[in-house]
Amino acid sequence: MNPESNAYGVLLASVASAAWAVFVYFIKRALMNAPVLKVTAAVTSVNAALVTLIAIGFISKNDFQGVTTATLAFAFLAGFFHIGISRSFYYRAIHRIGPNRSIPIALTYPAITAVGAAFTLGETPTISIFTGLAILLIGITLIVQAEPSREAQAETHGARWKLFGWISAGVTSLLWGVAAIFFKKASLNLHPLATAAIALWVGAATAMLLMALDRGEESRGPIPASAWRWIFAAAVCQTVAVPFYNFAFVHTLAVRVTAIISAQPLIVLMLGWLFLREIENITPRLVLGALLTMAGTIVVIT
């Protein structure tokens, strides 16, 4: 791998990481006074449509030669778990405990993938895996113990409502970590953008099904007109991030790409301090916790 290609891959991964960091603030705005599950279905549907349009420009019929039923099954599983199910938890976490607390926990998923691969594929767990997990757990503990956002303090929701936000962030990490294997297996025999488009449409259908089955407040009522501009902005950010993320793997090592994406909490914290400092209570404990989760994840995956 030549230095020029490697630098290009690092740049692509950095753009993807930044796009996802900006996304969380757009989705936070979209969720204000809006039903979470309906917003999830709307964002995922727009995201799927935009990625499909991009994919049409990059893929050809030849990219579908040799595609097996197993490949399509893995793409469907990735869409069901990584997009459909996980996003419903991910957006709930952002809505209930804020992006600065949910993102560092959700982005520990590469560590889950690494640990899962070590134990399920017969690979010997290394000292770095156990060391990284220890650092990661300390970081999560500090984040959970950090003072809640000022917005959350002003809400009438009780501790149980916020607890589900913390659980949702953890479930997001678990689902992303497991589904990463499905994405990898699907992309081995199918163009990454085609895989992404299929997974997103499956995820959109899953999100709509969850919305239809739910009878709680998170699917009740219409999406306010004021939320739609944030929904489209969030979907555009996701649409920028996915192609850049996939193509970064072509130009640099997967470990470098994943490490750059795992550094996203730093961007999220900076954006929170710049734009949401009045509602996001960014304390030294929270910053240290985010740094430790990022460091622990990187130690595990390297």
Q: In this predicted model, what pLDDT tens digit does every residue of 5-16 receive, in sequence order?
A: 778 878 888 888
Tens of pLDDT, residue by residue over 81-108, are 989 999 999 999 988 888 778 888 887 7
Q: What is the token pair recorded at 88?
A: 């419903």
Contact present, 55 and 196 (Cβ < 8 Å): yes
Tens of pLDDT, residue by residue over 187-211, are 778 888 888 899 999 999 999 999 9
Residue 261's domain comprises 3-301
Residue linked to tokens 């630098």: 7
Residue 40 CB contacts under 8 Å (≥ 6 apart), including other chains: 87, 88, 91, 207, 210, 211
| Cα 92 → chain centroid | 13
Report the first-to-last Cα separation within the chain, whole angstroms. 18
Amino acid at site 104: P
Sign of CA dihedral 191, 195, 198, 204: negative
3-class SS shares of the chain: helix, strand, coil, % to 5: 80, 0, 20
What does pTM read for this prediction? 0.79
Please give the tally of structural domains in the chain.
Answer: 1
